[in-house]
Structure 1
Amino acid sequence: MTPIFRWLTAACVALFLALSAGALSAQGDDLDYESWSQVVTRAEQSIDNSEASTEAFEELRSTIAGWRDDFLRAESTNATRIQTLQSQLSALGDPPPEGESEPDEIADRRAELNDELQRLQAPVRRAEEAYTQADGLIREIDEIIRSRQADALLELGPSPLNPALWREAIGSVMGAGHSLWSELKQNLGSGIKQIELRSNLPIILLLLALAALLVIRGPVWVNRLIDWLRKRTRRGSGVWGFLASLAGIVLPFLGLVALSAALQATGVMGVSGQRLLTMLAGWGGALLYIRWLADQTFNRNEDVATLPLPHARRLEARYYANFLAVLLVLRSVGQTVGDIFLFSEETQVVLDFPVLLLCALMLSRLGHILTQLTPDTATEGTLLEGSSFRLRLARLIGRVAIVLAIAGPIMSAIGYDAVGQAMVYPAVKTLAVLALVLVLQRFVNDLYELITGRSAQAADSLAPVLAGLVLLLLALPALALIWGARVADLTELWARFREGFTFGDTRISPMDFLTFILVFAIGYAFTRLLQGGLRSSILPKTKIDPGGQNAIVSGLGYLGVVLAALIAITAAGLDLSSLAIVAGALSVGIGFGLQNIVSNFVSGIILLIERPISEGDWIEVNGNHGIVKDISVRSTRIETFDRTDLIVPNTDFVAGTVTNYTRGNVIGRVVVNVGVAYGSDTRKVESILRRIVQQHEMVLLNPEPMITFEGFGASSLDFVIRAIIRDVGHKLDVISDFHHEIARRFAEEGIEIPFAQRDVWLRNPEALVGNREDATDKPADGKPAPGASSEQSATTEQMPAGRAGDDGDGHGHGDGDGGGR
């Protein structure tokens, strides 16, 4: 019942959202189109002039996007009432052809309904027109912004390798340092600042103590808490280790925040210094985060390593990652100082190039390490173990990183500094995001092991795989922003998703799909619940046989799925009438391609209704024996006596010949052939066989078993036992019991069970004697061998034991097919 409860809860939430959306859409008549006209005028003027800044265009675009969302909601204004009026008009029938009239009452009613329909559709049409206009303006603004971004990216600027620019850059850096020192010196000598410092001294000391406590003692407290949790739970070491490592960067970061606040509280740094102090915690947090990410990705412990690399390579990768963190923070410091002291473009390019070059070098080294990931290095317990696709993807990412690391500094050195930075720094951030995804997926696997007590790899569970897919999907927006996408681009994708798509006159939105899925899931769950109740509670108490019960349950399942689909389509408001023409055109081609499937489906329905076979029946079809295990709409599964599954199309049961051994009951007949030697008392044999059959517990005495003397065989007197047994499934056991008992009783009574015999007569035994003398008995000196002096002796040796004779004409005969020369 828990899944059903979850589905019902989700349905209630969806219904609430739908009602909320409907309440908002009811405000479509209250839209201020005059204000919208003013926004349109301002937007058109800005687009025509193209003189507004990019920030102004972004703000204008955001305003228009808000209006567009309002118009989209207004398109569903009075939707229920409009649908009702359309149904009323349909009930009145089609209007009469031109030149013909209809009753005045119907004509007046039709006109009244049409007027009301047009009145209700007016705001909807107005909203659709305004939505189209807003969407067009947004497209034009996006085109202008993208064009500006492309121009800025491909703009040729100064080369950082030009020595003429170095002197200015060095002077700017020294000037910034001198300005900061002057501010600090001036504030330290100011009496007002000294008084302020003394008044804030308790707060400053408290913040410094808190910072020291968090940085020094915080990790110790976290480790103690983790050890306590580990003692309380026998598993989950990976989860506790992850939490401990995460707390190991959170507490020092809070300590840096306290340290930054303490330094700002002194008031001696000046305006420029205060701006740098506000960035101190962020820079420290970046260093701590990248160091943590490198430790988690390239862990020293092979048991918890995320990437399958040798120990030396992991150590090298951690060094490169930590050095990259320092370089990124150094770049941020340079950009912040340049913004504060208004460095020129040439100075900023010269200062950024060494950092860019070192970042590219570290990036290339990390890419080289990724290219060395092979199945041989994929040790047990890592995420890439046994995943050739992930290994190939990691190697591909490594090669791309190397290419970008080489091309970025070259483009920057030429003068395309924006292109160079757009190659190197996004690549570094991409590696960081992907590493975070791998680390979080490993944490999900550890969490799965903590909850279930089984390893995710060993259990081969789908849940961790789905969690990894969700993490990757969540990382896609971050990757898009890293590589230059605007936030507006992501919001536009979301708006397009909410808008849905238009098919004919019908707009299908994600909410429609969600409603369809939820209603269908509820209907499907209710069907399964009803099937379970019938199968376990109601049907067993009736006199319906098991085959009929299974047919009822299966038929109810098919009916429930169809009804759930129809109700879901109706609840979602999907108008599929526009698909009728397309479905009619495709039905012809599909009919030829799927005629066998349709035939099997219809045959399956016939089998469920007529029930010539049922689950559990022993049948023979196409020369194959087996037990019916499952009857589906396309095929039937039969388990043979070799314990193999035989899948038979349903048309073979309807159009072919099927033998059902247990249809209606399990009573069956056994037939056993018995032969006795010539000379046996046939009546005695019949009496013995009858007693043997009647004494068996599986044999029914009504009808009475039959013992018949069938005839005179070639080697025996032939009898046949025919008996009806209670369960034909024990046929082989009964036959085996008969054989054992017959052998025992015949041995006691001295009745012989003969074996096959043949009498062989030779026409020309003298030829065999001659051949024997020539080929075998004649020694090397040509004398006949001893014991081969007479023709009769040779003939006697060639004849087997049994009857022999001559019919007087010198020709031999054999009985049956046993004669020969």
Structure 2
Amino acid sequence: MTSLLRLALTFVLLLSAVSPAFAQSQAQTQTLAQTAAQISQAEGEVRSVDRALDGGVDVDEHDDLRAKALAAQQAVRASASNLEQQLAIMDARIEGLGPVAKGTTEAPEILRERQRLAQNRAAIDAAIKRGRLVDVEAQQLIDEIDRSRAEQLNETLSTRAHSPLMPDFWSAVVSALPRDVRRVDRFVSQGAAQLFGRWQEGVPWPMVLGLLAAAVLLFPARIKLRELGQRYLIGTAPGHRIRRSGFALWRLLVGTLMPTLAAVALVQGLRWSQMLPARWSGLLDGLVLASGFAAFTVAVAGAVLMRTQPTWRVAPISDETASRLRPLAWPLAIIAFLSILVDSFNHAVGASQAAWTAAEVIEALLHLLWIGTFLRVLGRLRANRAEREEAEGAPVSGTGLGALVLLAWLLVGAALVGLAIGYVALSLFVARLIIWIVLTGSALYLLMNGADDVATTVFSRNSRLGNTLVRSVGLRPSLVDQFGVLLSFVLRLVLVLVALGLALSPFGGGGGLTSLFGRLGTLSQGIAVGGIEISPGAIVRSILVLAIGLGVVRAFMSWLDNRYLPATDLDGSGRNSVSLVARYVGVALAIIWALASLGIGIERIALLLSALSVGIGFGLQAITQNFVSGLILLAERPIKIGDWIRVGTDEGDVKRISVRSTEITLPDHSTLIVPNSELITKSVLNKTLASPLGRFQIQFSVPLESDAERVIAIVTELFAQEAAVLDDPASKVFVDAITDGRILFNCFAHVASPRDAYGARSNVLRKLLARFRSEDIDIGTVPQRLELAPAEFDRIAAAPDPDGSKPG
């Protein structure tokens, strides 16, 4: 019975030990199967993109194929990253088993575990290599699509047609006119026939509701939303800057979104009612795009200029500038609306190449005419401002804007020349690019100001959130302000990157915004630098680790300075030395910890330091010398904080000792910063190193007939009366010499500190002069005697007196 119980217990223990391993193995197998399926799916997507490119695609399909390849690449990279983590875990387990010793036979369980781990590792490694291959193929397809787009764009821009100034151009238009008229008539007839047919079947309520919704969105809803936004900002937004920027952005959003939604409602009503044939779908999409772009144009101009509300204006422009430029927004919106709509109509109708080229000529002329008008108005405004500044004697500003205006004029001139000689597509491209950059730049200006205002206002020491962080969390007010500035910088940088992508997106510039985010996605996966994978996530993790490490160092230093060091027998200088060394060691450990979280181990740091040793030996020799000297000062302490020292001709109190320099406070309250190497390699007088006491000296002489004992008694009495003079060590008065009929005295007295010597000496001298004067004792110094050689005496005696008389 006992043996049966033991057998059952052993079986239970084996099950409890094997079941977790079995479950873990099953989970790993399932995860590997899922990851392999994801890689296979991504591989299939890449193959489909490759086949589509082999069959030839047009410009519109390039964006879809590129997005498909990019999504597959990101999916396979995420799968490969997960597999690499599993591979690292597998390697750690295999390493934990250790190598097989020679001449030994492993247990069957360990042998099976080793074989299973080896098989799983081989499968994971194969999947990783497969994923990397798919990643490379996807990147090659993306690059091929980008090159194809660029080549098509270059081909389009370099295509030269007949000059619009020549009869051949218009003859081609006239020749293709009958066919184009028939295409337009067929297109319009099909649309009109289906429209009337649907109308006769009954009232198309979706179209009617779409029309009503468009009217509501375009007029009352847009106006009411703008008023509500302004009222809300006035009542709740903190600070004038946020209200101003918030209203500009709200006006831009409402002004762009409402007309676009109105166009979408109208188009969807027509589609749901099936009022128009399928051929009209492209034209309806063009109507939505044209409405959105025209609304964006008017909204940007209104938000930047604020002609009727100058107090809400974000841009630093005058009322005259706003009044002159605001009317130009509507012509531009109409030109852009008609240009997009005409292009969509020509594409839907299937217009001839001659008709396309003629439409592009008209569009280019209208765009260039508007740009020229805008630049002319801007030039007049700048000229008027320059005249006012010159009349007021102020310096003329705006040189950067003048350079941009000159560049725009040069581009307009080049576009006109290109249009005249037949480069119609290039001319239209330049005109549209100038306008799009102006609109994008204006919107970017509003967004950057809004981001800066929100970040620096919300995260400010005077804001409600800032006060909460300072009082509850204990942050310094300056840290709150610094975080606001850094957040503003990050937001503005992101906006600039997005604007760069948007500036290229309408013209096929390498994928535009899709390409930009694709490259940012590639960057987020990490890049290899010297065998180290550096990614934004790793950088953020390293920064967080560094912040935590520095926080721990700060807390430890607070405990060390306020709790532990005051309980020791160290003086102030000793505490400073211990605190300073501990601080530098803690900061160094925090930095090493942060580098380790980034993937840079101790061995790499040692290798880097060894590689920099030559540069440190030559280029940073002085800094290294001062650093080592500072460590010597902190260790040996020949100079301590509070010591009274003399360096060269300057002397003062040691205020601070760091690892690079020492700060000395001079008597005139200025600070002398001395490199530590100067204090180690040169002579320094430390008046308080051996003893804190100070001493001053008084020398004087009295006539020979004076009573020396009386003089000694007077000086001793005056020393005793001075409060700063110490009794121990006692003061001394010596007869130093008897020369030239005078007795020379040399007196010494001690004070508690060298800093008290000068004042005590002055007090004793004042009392000594008064006492000797009251007792008629002549005090002075040793008289000087001038002796002349005989020849020199005869020459001076023979010289005439200053009044011209002869010597006597």
- What's the TM-score, normalizing by structure 1? 0.74
- Give the corresponding residue for 2:334: 326
Aligned partner of residue 76 in structure 1, secondary structure? helix
Aligned partner of residue 276 in structure 2, secondary structure? helix
- Give the corresponding residue for 2:547: 521
Task: Select which of 421, 436, 446 maps to 1:439.
Answer: 446
Contact 1:604 1:631 in 2 (8 A): yes
Contact 1:356 1:421 in 2 (8 A): yes
Q: Confirm whether residue 404 of structure 1 aligns to residue 411 of structure 2.
A: yes
**C-alpha deviation, 1:531, in angstroms:** 0.7
Q: In structure 1, what is the Cα distance between the partners aligned to 2:673 and 2:574?
A: 21
Contact 1:634 1:649 in 2 (8 A): yes
Q: Confirm whether residue 709 of structure 1 aligns to residue 735 of structure 2.
A: yes
**C-alpha deviation, 1:146, in angstroms:** 3.0
Q: In structure 2, what is the Cα distance between the partners aligned to 1:26 and 1:644?
A: 70
- Give the corresponding residue for 1:69: 77
Contact 2:260 2:292 in 1 (8 A): no
Aligned partner of residue 702 in structure 1, secondary structure? coil
Q: What is the 5 A alignment of 1:298-309?
A: 298=305
Bigger shift: residues 618-627 or 173-182: 173-182
Q: Confirm whether residue 700 of structure 1 aligns to residue 734 of structure 2.
A: no
* CA offsets 1:477-535 (integer angstroms, 9 cap, x no match): 33234221315532442243133333565544443333333222211221012112222
- Give the corresponding residue for 1:151: 151
Q: What is the 5 A alignment of 1:663-674?
A: 663=689, 666-674=692-700
- Give the corresponding residue for 1:621: 647
Q: What is the 5 A alignment of 1:143-222?
A: 143-153=143-153, 154-155=155-156, 156=159, 158-159=161-162, 161=164, 162-167=169-174, 192=200, 195-196=203-204, 208=215, 212-216=219-223, 219-222=226-229
* CA offsets 1:311-364 (integer angstroms, 9 cap, x no match): 655554445455433322332222233344343343233223333233234445
Task: Select which of 335, 340, 346 maps to 1:338.
Answer: 346
Q: In structure 2, what is the Cα distance between the partners aligned to 1:148 and 1:398?
A: 34
Q: In structure 2, what is the Cα distance between the partners aligned to 1:500 and 1:146?
A: 22
Amino acid at match of 1:478: A
Q: Is the alpha carbon distance of 1:545 and 1:493 closer, same or farther for their aligned partners in structure 2, counting shifts above 3 Å? A: same
Q: What is the 5 A alignment of 1:423-434?
A: 423-434=430-441
Task: Select which of 510, 519, 525 maps to 1:485.
Answer: 510
Bigger shift: residues 444-453 or 356-365: 444-453
Q: Is the alpha carbon distance of 1:694 and 1:299 closer, same or farther for their aligned partners in structure 2, counting shifts above 3 Å? A: farther
* CA offsets 1:208-246 (integer angstroms, 9 cap, x no match): 56754335555555555555559xx7xx33432333344
**C-alpha deviation, 1:137, in angstroms:** 1.5
Task: Select which of 568, 573, 594 maps to 1:547.
Answer: 573
Contact 1:263 1:277 in 2 (8 A): no
Amino acid at match of 1:663: L
Q: In structure 2, what is the Cα distance between the partners aligned to 1:102 and 1:211?
A: 86
* CA offsets 1:44-79 (integer angstroms, 9 cap, x no match): 655666679635642552354145324431442324
Q: In structure 1, what is the Cα distance between the partners aligned to 2:56 and 2:286?
A: 35
Q: In structure 1, what is the Cα distance between the partners aligned to 2:502 and 2:662?
A: 54
Bigger shift: residues 74-83 or 108-117: 108-117
Amino acid at match of 1:485: G
Q: Confirm whether residue 559 of structure 1 aligns to residue 585 of structure 2.
A: yes
Q: Is the alpha carbon distance of 1:85 and 1:295 closer, same or farther for their aligned partners in structure 2, counting shifts above 3 Å? A: same
Q: Confirm whether residue 682 of structure 1 aligns to residue 690 of structure 2.
A: no
Q: Is the alpha carbon distance of 1:36 and 1:336 closer, same or farther for their aligned partners in structure 2, counting shifts above 3 Å? A: closer
Contact 1:715 1:757 in 2 (8 A): no
Q: In structure 2, what is the Cα distance between the partners aligned to 1:163 and 1:43?
A: 42
Q: In structure 1, what is the Cα distance between the partners aligned to 2:727 and 2:45?
A: 100
Contact 2:210 2:267 in 1 (8 A): no
Contact 1:308 1:373 in 2 (8 A): no
Q: Is the alpha carbon distance of 1:123 and 1:652 closer, same or farther for their aligned partners in structure 2, counting shifts above 3 Å? A: farther
Q: Is the alpha carbon distance of 1:601 and 1:68 closer, same or farther for their aligned partners in structure 2, counting shifts above 3 Å? A: same
Bigger shift: residues 539-548 or 38-47: 38-47
Q: Confirm whether residue 271 of structure 1 aligns to residue 276 of structure 2.
A: yes
Q: Confirm whether residue 639 of structure 1 aligns to residue 642 of structure 2.
A: no
**C-alpha deviation, 1:412, in angstroms:** 4.7
Contact 1:677 1:752 in 2 (8 A): yes
**As a proportion of its length, which structure holds more helix?**
2
Amino acid at match of 1:141: L
Q: In structure 1, what is the Cα distance between the partners aligned to 2:683 and 2:113?
A: 62
**C-alpha deviation, 1:697, in angstroms:** 2.1
Q: Confirm whether residue 130 of structure 1 aligns to residue 156 of structure 2.
A: no
**C-alpha deviation, 1:573, in angstroms:** 4.2
Q: Is the alpha carbon distance of 1:703 and 1:214 closer, same or farther for their aligned partners in structure 2, counting shifts above 3 Å? A: same
Contact 2:630 2:659 in 1 (8 A): yes
Aligned partner of residue 772 in structure 1, secondary structure? coil
Q: In structure 1, what is the Cα distance between the partners aligned to 2:568 and 2:782?
A: 57
Amino acid at match of 1:403: L
**C-alpha deviation, 1:545, in angstroms:** 0.9
**C-alpha deviation, 1:725, in angstroms:** 1.3
Q: Is the alpha carbon distance of 1:655 and 1:751 closer, same or farther for their aligned partners in structure 2, counting shifts above 3 Å? A: same
Q: Confirm whether residue 724 of structure 1 aligns to residue 750 of structure 2.
A: yes
Aligned partner of residue 800 in structure 2, secondary structure? helix
Contact 1:308 1:377 in 2 (8 A): no
**C-alpha deviation, 1:445, in angstroms:** 5.6
Q: Confirm whether residue 240 of structure 1 aligns to residue 243 of structure 2.
A: yes
- Give the corresponding residue for 1:476: 497
**C-alpha deviation, 1:417, in angstroms:** 4.0
Contact 1:669 1:723 in 2 (8 A): yes
Bigger shift: residues 173-182 or 699-708: 173-182
Q: In structure 2, what is the Cα distance between the partners aligned to 1:321 and 1:204?
A: 26
- Give the corresponding residue for 1:612: 638
- What's the TM-score, normalizing by structure 2? 0.75
- Give the corresponding residue for 2:17: none
Amino acid at match of 2:144: I
Amino acid at match of 1:422: F
- Give the corresponding residue for 1:350: 358
Contact 1:25 1:75 in 2 (8 A): no
- Give the corresponding residue for 1:802: none
Q: Confirm whether residue 591 of structure 1 aligns to residue 598 of structure 2.
A: no
Task: Select which of 510, 518, 527 maps to 1:501.
Answer: 527
Q: Is the alpha carbon distance of 1:416 and 1:126 closer, same or farther for their aligned partners in structure 2, counting shifts above 3 Å? A: farther
Contact 1:77 1:123 in 2 (8 A): no
**RMSD between aligned residues:** 5.0
Q: Is the alpha carbon distance of 1:399 and 1:481 closer, same or farther for their aligned partners in structure 2, counting shifts above 3 Å? A: same
Amino acid at match of 1:241: R
- Give the corresponding residue for 1:141: 141
Q: Confirm whether residue 772 of structure 1 aligns to residue 808 of structure 2.
A: no
Q: In structure 1, what is the Cα distance between the partners aligned to 2:379 and 2:537?
A: 42
Task: Select which of 32, 36, 43 maps to 1:31.
Answer: 36
- Give the corresponding residue for 2:62: 54
Bigger shift: residues 692-701 or 619-628: 619-628
Q: Could you tell me which runs of 5 or more consecutive residues in structure 2 were left unpaired when the two chains were aligned.
A: 1-26, 464-480
Q: In structure 2, what is the Cα distance between the partners aligned to 1:174 and 1:315?
A: 46
- Give the corresponding residue for 1:815: none
Aligned partner of residue 528 in structure 1, secondary structure? helix
Q: Is the alpha carbon distance of 1:186 and 1:534 closer, same or farther for their aligned partners in structure 2, counting shifts above 3 Å? A: same
Q: Is the alpha carbon distance of 1:128 and 1:269 closer, same or farther for their aligned partners in structure 2, counting shifts above 3 Å? A: closer
- Give the corresponding residue for 2:473: none
Contact 2:42 2:73 in 1 (8 A): no
